[in-house]
Structure 1
Amino acid sequence: MRTMEKIDAREIRRKMGMNQQQFWSKLGVTQSGGSRYESGRNIPRPVQQLLRLVHVENIDISKVKREDFEVAEYLKAHEPEQYKSLKKLARTAAAAKSKK
């Protein structure tokens, strides 16, 4: 598995113009916990991944369902070419949407 580069949560939060409560609550992390991470405590891998998804990739995780992951995993394992094709279509659609 690939290692993730160090994420500077404080810098991301400041660029977004959010306070700690607003920023960390979207990840299910308390303000005090987020403050500790911003002060140098190691951020656990699952929290790093959530941070990347929510605040870097701008994914609304409240809309993601377990069955979405199950479908994706099934396609990856049993229909890899279809998975790749759908992934490419989704990226194209997302890029077109962001240009509007």
Structure 2
Amino acid sequence: MKTTDKIDVREIRRKLGMNQSQFWSKIGVTQSGGSRYESGRNIPRPVQALLRLVHIEQIDISKIRKEDVEVAEYLKSSDPETFKNLKKEARARRKEKNSR
């Protein structure tokens, strides 16, 4: 799979102005592994999720704690609509913060 959610990974990296080493190391993938993904190798779902979080959603994964993940999983499983609303609010706050 060359794309993640119909988005060309190489294009994302280039738009961010990063070389392969910079781009892939942010999600724990080696430069050579990232090169293989950009050349067409299937990208595992966990790597796709990290790509989306780090490079599309602009989330600093170094600041995520285990408790954050547990709360998100609980909300997602117990009330998907509430989880969607919280996600939208967080995205809006992040957008506002980044536009300052």
Q: Could you state the TM-score of these two structures normalised by the residue count of structure 1?
A: 0.77
What is residue 20 of structure 2 aligned with on the other side?
Answer: 20
What is residue 6 of structure 1 aligned with on the other side?
Answer: 6
What is residue 94 of structure 2 aligned with on the other side?
Answer: 94
What is residue 42 of structure 2 aligned with on the other side?
Answer: 42
Rounded Cα–Cα distance in structure 2 between residues aligned with 1:70 and 1:6: 29
Counterpart check, 1:52 vs 2:52: yes
> Where do 5+ consecutive residues of structure 1 fail to align?
none
Counterpart residue identity of residue 46, structure 1: P
What is residue 65 of structure 1 aligned with on the other side?
Answer: 65
Q: Secondary structure at the match of 1:27?
A: coil
Report how far residue 80 of structure 1 moved.
6.8
Task: Kindly indicate whether the alpha-carbon contact (under 8 Å) linking 1:7 and 1:48 is maintained by their aligned counterparts in 2.
Answer: no
Q: Which has the higher contact order (CA 8 A, sep 6+)?
A: 2
Closer, same or farther: CA 28–80 of 1 in aligned 2, 3 Å: closer
> Where do 5+ consecutive residues of structure 2 fail to align?
none
Closer, same or farther: CA 65–37 of 1 in aligned 2, 3 Å: same
Q: Percent identity?
A: 71
